């Protein structure tokens, strides 16, 4: 049971570099999302997707791009890394039910340092 898989687990970038954080899920979940976790601030939503081809912004979208070409994958792109983007990034997926019991499943996280 792979669940939600994030790669890489650790990454160091120089300011101005770009990179893509990968996220894949094998549960056929429609809904996927990206969060960043910073000390004392909990997790904040960056972008989310309710299905292939559909994405939307969350609370802190600036500096990040996403796309959803397949149900399984939801990559997060940093266009020009800044030290303020040093954080731990979590990808999550869930069933896109309007009602009923659902829960979000989280990946193990990517720890990103921008120097």
Partner 1 sequence: AQSVTQPDIHITVSEGASLELRCNYSYGATPYLFWYVQSPGQGLQLLLKYFSGDTLVQGIKGFEAEFKRSQSSFNLRKPSVHWSDAAEYFCAVAPGSARQLTFGSGTQLTVLP
Binding site for partner 1 (CB under 8 A): 4, 31, 33, 35, 40-45, 48, 50, 58, 90, 92, 94-104, 106-109
Residues 6+ apart with CB under 8 A from 3: 25, 26, 27, 105, 107
Residues 6+ apart with CB under 8 A from 1: none
CA–CA separation, 19 and 5 (whole Å): 17
62 phi and psi, to 5 degrees? -65, 130
Nearest approach, Cβ of residue 61 and partner 1 (Å):
13
Q: Which is nearer to partner 1, 15 or 56 (CB)?
A: 56
Nearest approach, Cβ of residue 22 and partner 1 (Å):
15
- Residue 79's CB is within 10 A of a number of other CB atoms, namely 12
Q: Which is nearer to partner 1, 34 or 85 (CB)?
A: 34
Nearest approach, Cβ of residue 62 and partner 1 (Å):
18
Q: Which is nearer to partner 1, 31 or 64 (CB)?
A: 31
């Amino acid at each position: 049971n792979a669940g939600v898989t994030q790669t890489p687990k650790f990454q160091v970038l120089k300011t101005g570099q770009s990179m893509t954080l990968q996220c894949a899920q094998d549960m056929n979940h429609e809904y996927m999302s990206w969060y960043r976790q910073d000390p004392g601030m909990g997790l904040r939503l960056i972008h989310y997707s309710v299905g292939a081809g559909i994405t939307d912004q969350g609370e802190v979208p600036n500096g990040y791009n996403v796309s959803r070409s397949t149900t399984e994958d939801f990559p997060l792109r940093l266009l020009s890394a800044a030290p303020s983007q040093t954080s731990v990034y979590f990808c999550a997926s869930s069933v896109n039910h309007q009602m009923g019991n659902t829960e979000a499943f989280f990946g193990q996280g990517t720890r990103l340092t921008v120097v």
